[in-house]
Amino acid sequence: MTTGAQTPEALDRIWAVLGRCDADMFADASNARCEVFISRWVCKGSAGIDAIITAWPPGRLYACPPIVLLPRLFARLLCGTLCQQLVIIVPVWPAQAWWPVLCPDGVHSRSEVEAVVKLSKLDFTHAPECNPAFLVMPSWKFDAIALLWSPGRVGGPAVCLKASRGRFCAVCNP
């Protein structure tokens, strides 16, 4: 599994802007950001296994999934059966196949994205899955965003994702 980590300062900033969460959807006992968490494997204290297929607990949810699971997470979000808000941490990778799910026109978010917090390379790291007995892989550092996905928010103003990367688009700021 790939594990994402935010500095305590970055997590405090995310909570301050997007609101505190009740459950961590992609965690284990060693890295959970909330008391309630769902892990990928059987894990002591976990409220469930595999956040993609298990029933989600009530309340606002936090997701910092392995990058490889982002397409499956977005597929679940787009199925239309969710009623909870979800804070999702994603890398700023416009060339990825899943990016149009967030940003259909390449600039503005879907209407379900209510707010965005920019995370810098210093705020966020991702450690690739590896077997430590054979190989030690370095952590990846890249820009990321924390976004608040609100499934019932249809027709609201789109968030300019270019602005979250430090640039502003002509549509949002002529």
Q: What is the pLDDT of residue 130?
A: 42
Q: What is the pLDDT of residues 116-129, one digit of tens each?
A: 888 877 665 555 44
Q: What is the pLDDT of residues 79-90, one digit of tens each?
A: 877 778 999 999
Residue 173 in any domain: the answer is: no
CB atoms within 10 A of CB 115: 16
Residue 42 in any domain: the answer is: yes
Would you state the structure tokens that stand for residue 174, as one six-digit string? Answer: 């002529």
Residue 171 in any domain: the answer is: no
Q: What is the pLDDT of residue 171?
A: 44
Would you state the structure tokens that stand for residue 151, as one six-digit string? Answer: 């499934």
- 122 CB-side CA count, 13 A: 1
Residue 174 in any domain: the answer is: no
Tally of domains within the chain: 1
Residue 44 in any domain: the answer is: yes
Residue whose tokens read 């787009």: 78
Domain with residue 86: its CATH number is 3.40.50
Strand, helix or coil for residue 10? helix
Q: Is 10 exposed, middle or buried (0-12, 13-18, 19+ CB in 10 A)?
A: buried
CB atoms within 10 A of CB 86: 23
Residue 133 in any domain: the answer is: yes
State the residue range of the domain holding 91.
3-164
Query: 29-33, 69-73, 149-153, 169-173: which has the minimum mean pLDDT?
Result: 169-173
Residue 70 in any domain: the answer is: yes
Q: What is the pLDDT of residues 7-62, one digit of tens each?
A: 788 888 999 999 999 999 998 888 888 999 998 888 899 999 999 888 899 899 99
Residue 170 in any domain: the answer is: no
Strand, helix or coil for residue 162? helix
pLDDT at 131 over 70: no
> Would you list the DSSP string of 27-82?
--TTT-SSSEE-BSS--TT-S-B-TTTSPPPSS-EEE---GGGHHHHHHHHHTS--
Q: What is the pLDDT of residues 91-115, one digit of tens each?
A: 888 888 989 988 888 878 888 888 8
